[in-house]
Amino acid sequence: MRKFDVDVIVFDLDGTLIDSKLDIANALNWTLEKLGYPHLPVETIGAFVGNGVLPLIQRTLEAAGHLEKEEAMVSLFRQRYLDHLLDNTRLFDSVEETVNQLAGRYKLGLVSNKPERYTKKIVHELGIEPVFDGAVYGGDTIPVKKPDPQALLEIAEKYGSPVSRLLMVGDSAVDIKTGQNAGAYTVGVTYGFRPLKELADAGPDALIDRFSQLGTLLK
């Protein structure tokens, strides 16, 4: 088994640390209903998550066949989701224990394409904010989103580590591409929102089926 010798570990949020699929789907379906459109299945919406709010809305409206309502849907969804971020959202199994253990040995960061105010509220309310020592990036924290590597480069610089000693962990091809673009190691989690084939085809350095397995990959 390959072992990674790193100083910094950066995580994706949705589908990696948290199961947020139902709250996102509920907010989107509430918004669709407000606009007079039928609901979409939760699994369909889950497959749209990972690139930020605007691509999420665009893919949802494309599936619903109503692209002309983008502006109205973005506005309605943003507020509805902010008010219901944590109705059902939970950390995946072993995430809390594992990140707390890792925080004693490594510097940790988080990079999501979800807007910063949502991202920070979620990690705060779920009790894992302290392990990231302020290195929490949302999709609008800086002008670029994943797969642009800028957030990873900034986190490596914050911790005084070369990016070659950074590991990016996520559930999507976007996350893997972000790590590769930065010159970092990458690990894909197979339990997340994206199809396994998409994740594997992105070429991560390793795949894990449970979050707790991450520790076994580290020197």
The domains of the chain, with CATH numbers, are 8-19+89-217 (3.40.50.1000), 21-83 (1.10.150.240)
Q: How far apart are CA 203 and CA 177, in angstroms?
A: 9
Each as own residue / partner, the long-range contacts of residues 96-99 (CB below 8 Å, 24 or more positions apart, any chain) are 96/126, 96/127, 96/128, 97/212, 98/211, 98/212, 98/214, 98/215, 99/11, 99/17, 99/128, 99/131
For residue 52, is pLDDT > 90?
Answer: no
pLDDT beyond 90 at 45? no
CB-CB contact of 208 with 187 (8 Å): yes
pLDDT of residue 11: 98
| Active site members | 12
Rounded to 5 degrees, φ, ψ at 171 are: -110, 5
Using the predicted structure, report yes or no on whether residue 47 has a pLDDT greater than 90: no
State residue 70 phi and psi, 5-degree precision: -60, -50
Backbone angles phi, psi at 119, to 5 degrees: -55, -50
User: Tokens representing 173?
Assistant: 């091809």
Flag whether pLDDT at 3 surpasses 80.
yes
pLDDT for 18: 98
Q: What 3-state class would DSSP assign to 115?
A: coil
Nearest C-alpha neighbor of 11 from the set 216, 162, 219, 184: 184
Cα-based angle 186, 188, 189 (whole degrees, multiple of 5): 145
* pLDDT at residue 37 in the model: 87
Give this prediction's pTM.
0.94
Task: Kindly state the percentage of the chain with pLDDT values over 90.
Answer: 78
What is the chain's mean pLDDT, rounded? 94
Give the pLDDT score at 43.
86
> Residue 5 corresponds to which tokens in the numbers above?
């010798």
Confidence of residue 152 (pLDDT cuts 50, 70, 90): very high
Confidence at residue 69, expressed as pLDDT on a 0 to 100 scale = 79
- Of the pLDDT bands very low, low, confident and very high (cuts 50, 70, 90), residue 72 is confident
Helix (H) or strand (E) holding 19: strand 18-19
Angle of helix 70-83 relative to helix 116-125, nearest 10 degrees, comes to 20
